[in-house]
Structure 1
């Protein structure tokens, strides 16, 4: 299993609008590609920048191949759509994590 993690820094002035857009439009569009099993959407509470808030969207997929297919065939258009809508009011950092083991408490 692979986690595709997108960490986003958003200007406070657009936070509520952006969160609503993520919940109602962007995350559903990413999941509609059929490449991910789920998404965990979180707000970072341990790191604060003046004038900005940070969020994390972590999408789970079954393989590196599925992620590669998403990155090649779907991500460019979805990322472009984000940039057109929010231009210089957000900054995203993407990383890939391989799940070694799921542990239950």
Structure 2
């Protein structure tokens, strides 16, 4: 399992507009590529004067699917965010590979 993680800091002045766009359009557009199984939107719990930080995690089965996303879909989808929010939205991306998952077992 590969996680494509996008961390975004959103300026307070556009926070509500960005949140609506993410929840009602952008995440669905990324999932509509058919390359990701599901996504998770989480708030990063830090106090910041400059804005609010979120992490969007997109889950896929393989690095090949992620590379397909980068090549065929990412430029257009990233451009839309830049056009809407410009420098009020700062992002960085990381790729994570799930090696194992552990769960608490009750004895």
TM-score (norm: length of structure 1): 0.95
Instruction: Find the aligned partners of 1:68 and 1:104 in 2 and give their Cα distance.
Output: 30
Displacement of 1:13 in angstroms is 1.3
Moved over 4 A (4+): none
Match of 1:77 in 2: 76
Q: Which runs of 5+ in 1 are unaligned?
A: none
- Contact 1:48-1:54 within 8 A present in 2 as well: no
User: Partner residue of 1:91?
Assistant: 90
Q: How many residues align?
A: 104
- 3-state SS, counterpart of residue 41 of structure 2: strand
Q: 1:53 — aligned with what?
A: 52
Q: State the TM-score, normalizing by the size of structure 2.
A: 0.94
Structure 2 Cα separation of the partners of residues 80 and 48 of structure 1: 28
CA distance in 1, matches of 2:79, 2:21: 15
CA displacement, residues 31-75 of structure 1 (integer Å, 9 cap, x when unaligned): 000000000100111x23213110000000000000000011000
Structure 2: gaps of 5 or more residues: none
